């Protein structure tokens, strides 16, 4: 027992200080919020849009970058001769409305605002979530699970994952919402007591991801259940997921919108 206590003391404090302190250092290859600078775009160039596997870039009229479809694969960045698209180190990308992820060039990202009224009083201090993989590859699921480890300790914010939807306040949905999972997802949602919230994590759960418009895919969880928080990425970094959850609960407020 003494050896265990000594080893524990030597390990020190493992949980990140965020949000009270600085966020953890992100790896050099991290791809955060993409920025499209149309001033660098050659006249009539469609290279970035043509290279995008999910048609997340629309240059037909006013240029639009759809973060809900974006896989953060950097194909657009590599194909652009003028490097008009760059990926920033900004991890803050969660929003409350799907349309807020469709960003005009030079627009602003409206980060998620907190719950209001009765539902804020109910869930602001304690939120139990049932995770549903509705046809995912396990990448988003893995990054959601990371939040329960000692380094992140999601429970310190009053947020926990539960095994039964009947014990939950809401759902975290990952995956492309396949036809085979449609009924299961609907029944899981119905089993959660009212009032409830739904969080879509990752490009698949938001838009279908790389499987968008496939006949066996519903193009996102919104086709089955109402969604209250959209967290883009493929997969989203754990810090992006945590940031979105804390904003939803009013534990983290943005002083300024993010430029895109």
**What is the C-alpha to C-alpha distance for residues 167 and 111, in angstroms, rounded to an integer?**
29
Residue 257: pLDDT band with limits 50, 70, 90 = very low
Question: 259 pLDDT band (50/70/90 cuts)?
Answer: very low
Other Cβ atoms within 10 Å of 79 Cβ, number: 16
Bigger pLDDT: 37 or 205? 205
Nearest by Cα to 148 from 136, 137, 163: 163
Cross-strand pairs, 230: 95, 200
Mean pLDDT within 222-228? 97
Question: Which of these, 174, 128, 133, 173, lies nearest to 154 by C-alpha position?
Answer: 128
Pick from 70, 56, 95, 98: nearest CA to 222: 98
Give the C-alpha separation, 169 to 196, whole Å. 5
Task: For 158-169, write each residue's pLDDT tens digit.
Answer: 999 999 999 999
For residue range 69-128, list pLDDT tens digits in order.
999 999 999 998 888 899 999 999 999 999 999 998 777 899 999 998 888 888 988 999
Give me the helices (H) in 32-116, please: 47-51, 75-79
Q: pLDDT tens-digit profile of 198-213?
A: 999 999 999 999 999 9
Residue 49, SS3 per DSSP: helix
CATH topology of domain 117-252: Rossmann fold (3.40.50)
Residue 230 has pLDDT above 50, yes or no: yes
Kindly tell me if the per-residue pLDDT of 146 is higher than 70.
yes
Looking at residue 42, its pLDDT comes to 77
What pTM was computed for the model?
Answer: 0.91
* Mean pLDDT, rounded, of the chain: 90
- For residue 10, pLDDT over 90 is answered with no
Whole-number pLDDT of residue 167: 95
> Could you tell me the pLDDT band of residue 13, with boundaries at 50, 70 and 90?
low
Average pLDDT over residues 215-228: 96
Query: To the nearest whole percent, how much of the chain has pLDDT over 70?
Result: 95
- Is 157 within 8 Å of 151 (Cβ atoms)? no
Residue 42, Cβ neighbours under 10 Å: how many? Answer: 11
Q: What pLDDT does residue 253 have?
A: 58
% of the chain exceeding 90 in pLDDT: 67
pLDDT at 1 > cutoff 90: no
- Tell me how far apart the alpha carbons of residues 230 and 93 are, in angstroms, rounded to a whole number: 9
- Two tokens at 119? 């539902």
Tokens 């430029």 correspond to 259
Supply the pLDDT for residue 258.
43
pLDDT above 50 for 222 = yes
Q: pLDDT at position 260, please?
A: 35
Span 173-177, mean pLDDT?
95
Q: How confident is the model at residue 190 (pLDDT cuts 50, 70, 90)?
A: very high
């Amino acid at each position: 027992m003494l050896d265990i206590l000594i080893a524990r003391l030597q390990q020190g404090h493992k949980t990140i200080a965020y949000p009270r302190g600085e966020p953890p250092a992100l790896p050099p290859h991290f791809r955060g919020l993409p920025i499209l600078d149309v001033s660098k775009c050659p006249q009539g160039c469609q290279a970035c849009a043509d290279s995008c596997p999910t048609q997340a870039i629309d240059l037909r009229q006013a240029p639009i970058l759809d973060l809900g479809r974006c896989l953060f694969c950097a194909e657009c960045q590599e194909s652009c001769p003028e490097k008009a698209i760059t990926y920033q180190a900004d991890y803050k990308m969660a929003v409350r409305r799907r349309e807020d992820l469709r960003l005009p060039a030079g627009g602003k990202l409206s980060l998620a605002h907190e719950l209001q009224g009765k539902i804020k009083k109910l869930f602001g201090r304690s939120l139990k979530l049932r995770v549903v993989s509705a046809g995912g590859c396990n990448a988003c699921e893995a990054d959601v699970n990371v939040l329960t480890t000692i380094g992140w300790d999601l429970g310190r914010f009053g947020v926990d994952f539960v095994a039964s939807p009947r014990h939950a306040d809401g759902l975290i949905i990952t995956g492309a919402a396949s036809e085979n999972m449609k009924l299961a997802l609907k029944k899981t949602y119905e089993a959660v007591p009212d009032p409830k919230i739904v969080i879509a994590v990752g490009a698949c759960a938001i838009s279908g991801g790389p499987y968008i418009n496939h006949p066996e895919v519903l193009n996102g969880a919104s086709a089955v259940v109402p969604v209250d928080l959209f967290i883009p990425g493929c997969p989203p970094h754990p810090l992006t997921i945590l940031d979105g959850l804390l904003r939803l609960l009013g534990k983290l407020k943005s002083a300024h919108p993010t430029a895109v």
